[in-house]
Structure 1
Amino acid sequence: MKHHYKEMPENLKGTYADYSHNFGFNWKEFVMTVPSPLLLVTTYKSNGMPNACMQSWATFTCANKGNGYYAILASVNKNGHFYKSLKETGDAVINFMSAEIFTKCMATIKNNQFEVDEITASGLTPGKASWVNAPLVEECFMNLESKYVWEKEIAPGDDHVLLCLEIIGAHIDDEHLSDRTGENGILFNIHHQQNPELTEKTGHDWAAVLSKKIDMGEY
């Protein structure tokens, strides 16, 4: 037997899936729970300070008859440092973190003042990219140097955009060359799964998952 969901089920009312629309989320994300990779995207702000932005809702694909490899970031805030600095420089680095440094990467959400080096302030080490004008995070096991290609509003007038970056080149730690998707590899973001037929009205529940859940805390 299949259950059918077009409107928000009554059991989800009063849960985080209900009021999360205030933060740009939709109840369907909690019911359908499709994971996406967790990324730390880095750029230089106009004052030269490194910017670091946690991102998810992303996918990667080839195009241009196989001559290009691209990242599609589905939800980039037009009011954030990442978007503004990317439009100024056209360059960014997509950094993949292991579970060991997940907490430090999440700390960049709080250390996001314009005058701050957001990478260093979070206990991480900024490095110099080889092919683009953006910092990379040394502790991250894979860094993808990227250039801005295009953007599009998914809904007209929205404050978030769908954004495309072309991946120019990569840096990969020696210990991850043989396995980038195992227990110490790529982390995925998934909102707390809620059974719409039987839901406890808990508060702010979300998690990052690899082979186990990592609590995102209060970020």
Structure 2
Amino acid sequence: MKYSYKEMPEQMKGTFGDFSRNFGFSWKEFVVTVPSPLFLVTTYKANGQPNACMQSWATFTSADHGNGFYAILASVNKNGHLYTSISETKEAVINFMSAEYHAACMSTIKNNQYEEDEITASGLTVEKASWVNAPLVQECFMNLECKLKWEKEIVPGDDHAMLCLEVIGLHIDENHLPDRTGESGILYNIHYQVNPENVGKTAHDYAGVLQKKIDVMEY
């Protein structure tokens, strides 16, 4: 038996899944609960200071017959430093952190004053990128240097935009070359799961890693 949902179930009214629309989330996100990779995007602000912004709601894909590799950031706030700096410089670095550095990367959310170096203020180390004008985070085990390809609104007039970044080059820590998806690898942003038929307490998000691999396809 499958349950079907088009409108928000009555049981979810009054929960975080309901009023989270004030933060730009749909109740459907908490029912579907599809994980998305979690990473830190870094740029330079117009004053030369490093900017750092936690992001998720993204996917990565190839195009142009395999000649290009792209990151699609599906929801970037137009009112934030990240959108402004990418619009100005057209360049950024996507930094993947392990669980060890999750708390430090998350602290960039509060260390976001325009005048400060948001990376250093969060206890992380700034490194110069090799191919783009953007800082990268030393402690993050994988850094993707990117150039802005295009931007688009999912809904016309929305306050969030979808950005396509072309990955120009990348760096991977030697200890992560054998595996980037294990317990010390890529983190995923997971919405708090809601059972719409038996709603208990609800919350926002948590970070998780992949626990098991199945049916590996070999060619």
Which residue matches 2:71?
71
Q: Which digits, 9 at most, give the CA deviation of each residue in 1:135-192, with x for residues without a partner?
A: 0000000000000000000001000011100000000000000100001000000110
Which residue matches 1:7?
7
Aligned ranges 1:105-144 → 2 under 5 Å: 105-144=105-144
**Rounded Cα–Cα distance in structure 2 between residues aligned with 1:19 and 1:44:** 34
CA shift for structure 1 position 205: 3.5
Letter in 1 for 2:208: V
1:152 and 2:152 aligned: yes
CA shift for structure 1 position 208: 1.0
Which residue matches 1:205?
204
1:62 and 2:50 aligned: no
Query: Quick check: 2:194–2:202 contact (8 Å CA) kept in 1?
Result: no
Percentage identity across paired residues of the two chains: 71
Partner SS for 1:19: helix
CA shift for structure 1 position 44: 0.1
Partner SS for 1:204: coil
Which residue matches 2:32?
32
Letter in 1 for 2:204: D
**Rounded Cα–Cα distance in structure 2 between residues aligned with 1:179 and 1:66:** 23
**Rounded Cα–Cα distance in structure 2 between residues aligned with 1:85 and 1:139:** 22
The alignment yields a C-alpha RMSD, in angstroms, of 0.9
Query: Quick check: 2:192–2:205 contact (8 Å CA) kept in 1?
Result: yes
CA shift for structure 1 position 204: 3.4
CA shift for structure 1 position 210: 1.2
**Rounded Cα–Cα distance in structure 2 between residues aligned with 1:102 and 1:63:** 31
Per the normalisation by structure 2, the TM-score is 0.95
1:185 and 2:181 aligned: no
**Rounded Cα–Cα distance in structure 1 between residues aligned with 2:66 and 2:202:** 45
Which residue matches 2:214?
none
**Rounded Cα–Cα distance in structure 2 between residues aligned with 1:26 and 1:61:** 25
**Rounded Cα–Cα distance in structure 2 between residues aligned with 1:205 and 1:80:** 20
**Rounded Cα–Cα distance in structure 2 between residues aligned with 1:23 and 1:188:** 20
Partner SS for 1:108: helix
Letter in 1 for 2:106: M
Letter in 1 for 2:127: G
**Rounded Cα–Cα distance in structure 2 between residues aligned with 1:129 and 1:150:** 21
CA shift for structure 1 position 203: 5.1
Partner SS for 2:3: coil
Query: Quick check: 2:95–2:137 contact (8 Å CA) kept in 1?
Result: yes
Which residue matches 1:215?
none
Per the normalisation by structure 1, the TM-score is 0.95
List alignment gaps of at least 5 residues for structure 2: 212-219
